[in-house]
Structure 1
Amino acid sequence: MNQNIFREYDIRGIVGRDLTDETVAVLGRAIGTFFRQNGAQRIAIGYDARESSPRFRDLLVKGFNATGCDAVLIGKVPTPVLYYAVFTKQVDGGVMITGSHNPSDYNGFKICLGKSTLFGSQIQEIKKIALSGNFTKGEGSAEEIEVLADYENDILSKINLGKRQLKAVVDGGNGMGGVTAVPIYEALGIKLVKLFTEPDSNFPNHHPDPTVTENLQDAIQAVTENNADLGIAFDGDGDRIGVVDENGRIIWGDELMVLLSREILKENRGATIIAEVKCSQNLFDDIEKHGGKPLMWKAGHSLIKAKMKETGAALAGEMSGHIFFADRFYGFDDATYAGARVLEILSKTDKTLSELLSDLPKTFSTPELRVDCADEKKFAVVRRIADEFSSSNEVITIDGARILFENGWGLVRASNTQAILVLRFEADSEENLREIQETVQARVKQLID
């Protein structure tokens, strides 16, 4: 068994190489044993449109049953529908079989114990059980339940549109997002321009990852050609959102959080709102300006959900488009619901999306920059950067090193999932951005070499 399949937030690999039928059969029994050891027995299972997913579901059911777990099958659904089942149905946990936004030859497993998504040491615990071959024994059952209709009705009951008639482009990227977004938005009365909303595991049109600019070009073009109010794009399993305004400009995760947090703070002054370390300083300042409590936290959907639970935050978000609503929702990341909240805001104003955000101070920033750095070296490099810069600058070390300069900031953090460092920079002018970036990158390069 390739031990690299056990990642920080999930179990993931290439089908037929890392995830063979034999490996998945072992994983079924290992995950089932983990559940039983933690007092869980009834487990919801959902799967995405990838070719290997139905086969992996059958192997999981067999493994779960052999350990005494009962499988509750909710069918082919986006990841948020699995989370919804875990929150609203009589189950003790859940597994989503999905390759998310990874290439079509990948697949994987996102795992929930109770209402919490596993990460870190819990994933390592499953690895230990799998390698030991020491599995619980029992006889479980399997049953199918209908969840999709309940989920759709629940969201419709939570969204209250204003009088304005909206036109939206929906780009499913041939992932699972369109499965829920299209019927829900149509039921809300939105006029839709639909792109690639049919699931196709080969992703024939573009890759379903809305954090990459080139993957949003079809949505941008459709928005301008159809004179739409906005474009909404989804990742492969429907838990991350990308948004494009009426001019075809991309609204990244932190800017989207400005829009959403302002709306929440109108009703809920003093609410805690969480954003991860890669987000713009504009967001943290704007939350404070509108009477909220901004909280900077680590990147990673499992880590953010845990922090929301701990702090009672109303909203949280990441640059990657994971948006988590506890306000009028369950606290998990759901792109269809996040999109519905954006539509709700727009439906109650005459302003365009760009006008709603036009008062934000202009900043200049880089996208996420990825620098190769060996796994055994990457955390040490970040520590050295933090130590060295802290003699002259304030350095926030919640997740990596966010170095504060007079006119901006630079971030250096080690990826939890790859042998890379992630860098991002922001400043109040092009010149200051270049200066901050050159200062930090030069030192990073020296430490890597």
Structure 2
Amino acid sequence: MNSIDWKKLQNGSDIRGVALEGVTDETVNLTPNVAKTLGNAFAQWLSQQAKKSTTELTIAIGRDSRLSGETLSQSVIEGIAIAGCQVYNFEIASTPAMFMSTVTSGFMCDGAIMLTASHLPFNRNGLKFFTPQGGLGKPDITNILSIAEAGNLKTSDTEGESSNHNFIAIYAAKLVETIRQGVNHPDNFEQPLTGLKIVVDAGNGAGGFYVDQVLKPLGADTTGSQFLDPDGMFPNHIPNPENKEAMASICQAVIEHQADFGIIFDTDVDRVAAVDHQGHELNRNRMIALISAIVLQEHPGSTIVTDSITSDGLTQFIEQNLGGKHHRFKRGYKNVINESIRLNNAGSESWLAIETSGHGAMKENYFLDDGAYLATKLLAELAKSKLQGKLLTDLISDLQEPVESEEFRLKIQVEDFKAYGNDVIAELETFARSQDDWQIVPNNYEGVRISCQSSTEDGWFLLRLSLHDPVIPLNIESNVNQGVSKIVQRLLAFFRDFEALDLSSLNCSD
């Protein structure tokens, strides 16, 4: 245990590590022993926060479909139980369900742990932690790792008991009721999705429950749903709504089965994307526009908080078409959620915080980034639209989308990549000021965003530093054909002065 670099296990507000052999140059550092220590460290941390002894605490644990999940879960349970805590084992569960166990009557757990590494490869795993106040933040994870590193396991004279519970059924029942209440069908209140064919792709993660426990009780035809069984090898595609292969798969399933709607979850169900009846993707800006339209019907004038890479067309749609306010903030779903909470606390009403990755959190749902809840809101609106003889996508018919959109990831090949990256961004800002047809966009919270106003470019770009990696992502959008390449060529003249930048992703040629 002394050889473990505990700090390397931190990934922002999560813990992530290598749990299985099988990938070259990836040494296992999330072992059963480490998991046991982390479970015990969380119990100690929670005891301090809740001002209760560990023997008074109840902690829930769940996992996604990863191969290492069951073994690591048992180790975490052991670490919690030796501290005297009561443990509720939910086995296969979703990340949002784990938070809900802390606020659901009959459970009201003091804390919860989800074992997941989202869409990362089969050999990875990790831990997410919750209290009734929400998901833990970066400083909390740092504190838990410090407790683990000290190696002082908390033990109790009486070991805590572990019991199994089917909490996902309770969580799913709440989603069912949300749709029933949301549609309020005049003729079929119990089964408002009757007559709708809805295809779900769970990517062999934890989201398969949504078909049998949410959609079928509501009367939906789920023929064509795919990859519902948990399989930690993820044999069909990466369980990630941002993955092109994954999106192509759900789009094809919708077309093949002539479905009214398609839903695709990531591994632990905290993210979602959708597909319309024509097989068109409803993700990224379209997903944000769609859920914003629903939110602004219910809460006119609300502020919608998004991450920094959303399009100008989305801003126009939210503000001019929907009458809301669009507040771009930093990348990172916790950043977006915390900013929305901050705005509410400051007296500026904000009912939605959502990233282009599919992480979406609503004020009405504890600001929990919950893919299943977002899907549920969309399905309620789908059923209401059908009653009115309309299409769900009519809500975003006025959304102006760019002709071209690309993201390039420029690797930084020096050790102190953050300082180097910030220098590049600062120099670009100076360079942009010298260009007559480029304007720096105000109120930008990360990197530098430039509006490109010439007729051959007609778009924008954002250069920012990655949250965790030695990379500078460059997002470019243009409203004209070849506009992105025009902006790229102009930027290359600037980037070539920085020798530590790998420009290969720009497909540049001298």
Normalising by structure 2, report the TM-score: 0.81
Whether 1:46 and 2:62 are equivalent positions in the alignment is yes
Alpha-carbon displacement from aligned partner over 1:138-190 (angstroms, at most 9, x marks no partner): 45523434422221221122223357732122111111112234421222222
- Which of residues 440, 444, 448 is equivalent to 1:394? 440
Question: Following TM superposition, by how much is the alpha carbon of 1:442 offset from its aligned partner in structure 2, in angstroms?
Answer: 5.0
Any idea what the Cα deviations from partners look like across 1:78-121, whole Å, max 9, x if unmatched? 11111211232422221101122111111110112432222322
Q: How big is the shift at 1:135?
A: 4.5
Deviation at 1:68, TM superposition (A): 4.5
Which has the larger displacement, 435-444 or 77-86? 435-444
Kindly report which structure 2 residues correspond to 1:372-391, keeping only aligned pairs within 5 A, or say none.
Answer: 372-374=411-413, 376-378=416-418, 380-389=420-429
Q: Considering only CA atoms, is the larger Rg found in Structure 1 or Structure 2?
A: 2
Pairing 1:260–2:294 present: no
Counterpart residue number, 2:276:
245
Matched residues in 1 for 2:84 and 2:419: separation?
40
Deviating beyond 6 angstroms after TM superposition, the runs of 4 or more aligned structure 1 residues are none
| CA shift digits 1:381-418 (9 cap, x unpaired) | 24532453256132454133323333322122222233
Question: Distance between the aligned counterparts of 1:423 and 1:351, measured in 2?
Answer: 38
Superposed, which structure 2 residues align to 1:211-222 within 5 Å? 211-222=242-253
Deviation track 1:221-243 (CA, whole Å, cap 9, x = no partner) reads: 11112211222111111111121
Instruction: Check conservation: 2:314, 2:400, Cα contact below 8 A.
Output: no
Aligned with residue 319 of structure 1, among 356, 379, 401? 356
- Measured in 1, the distance between the counterparts of 2:112 and 2:495 equals 41
1:44-443 alignment, distance < 5 Å: 44-88=60-104, 89-138=107-156, 141-144=160-163, 145-159=165-179, 160-161=182-183, 165-192=195-222, 193-289=224-320, 290-312=322-344, 313-327=350-364, 329-349=365-385, 350-374=389-413, 376-378=416-418, 380-389=420-429, 392=433, 393-395=439-441, 396-406=443-453, 407-440=458-491, 442-443=493-494
Q: 1:352 to 1:434 in 2, by over 3 A?
A: farther
Q: What do residues 298-325 of structure 1 show as CA deviations (whole Å, max 9, x unaligned)?
A: 2222223322322232112111111212
Amino acid at match of 1:427: S
CA distance in 2, matches of 1:38, 1:383: 40
1:186 counterpart letter in structure 2: K
Query: CA–CA distance in 1 between the matches of 2:475 and 2:161?
Result: 47
Paired residue for 1:6? Answer: 10
Q: 1:359 to 1:43 in 2, by over 3 A?
A: same
Which SS does the other structure have where 1:194 is aligned?
coil
Give the deviation of 1:136 after TM superposition.
4.2
Q: Give 1:432 deviation, angstroms.
A: 3.1
1:76 offset after TM fit, Å? 1.6
Do 2:85 and 2:160's aligned partners in 1 also have CA atoms closer than 8 Å?
A: yes
Q: State how far apart, in whole Å, the 2-side matches of 1:20 and 1:427 are.
A: 47
CA RMSD of aligned residues (A): 2.4
Cα distance change, pair 167–62 in 1 and its aligned pair in 2 (3 A) = same
- The alpha-carbon distance between structure 1 residues 111 and 46, as it changes in their structure 2 partners (threshold 3 A), is same
Cα separation, 2, equivalents of 1:445 and 1:382: 16
- Contact 1:87 1:330 (C-alpha < 8 Å) held by counterparts: no
Structure 1 unaligned runs (5+)?
A: none
C-alpha distance in structure 2 between counterparts of 1:190 and 1:170, whole Å: 11
Aligned to 1:28: 39
Instruction: Return the TM-score normalized by structure 1.
Output: 0.92
Q: How many residues align?
A: 448
Distance 1:286 1:379 in 2: 36
Partner SS state of residue 298, structure 1: coil
- 425 and 128 in structure 1: CA distance in 2 versus 1, 3 angstrom threshold: same
- Cα 1:441–1:82 shift into 2, 3 Å: farther
Moved more, 10-19 or 29-38: 29-38
The 3 A distance-change label for structure 1 pair 443 and 186 is farther
Report the AA paired with residue 385 of structure 1. Answer: I
Q: Is the 8 A contact 1:271 1:293 kept in 2?
A: yes
Q: Distance in 2 between matches of 1:420 and 1:104?
A: 24
Residues 61 and 142 in structure 1, CA contact (< 8 A), matched pair in contact too: no
Q: CA deviation at 1:326?
A: 2.0
> Which segment drifts farther, 226-235 or 178-187?
178-187
Counterparts in 2 of 1:425 and 1:382: CA distance versus 1, 3 Å: farther
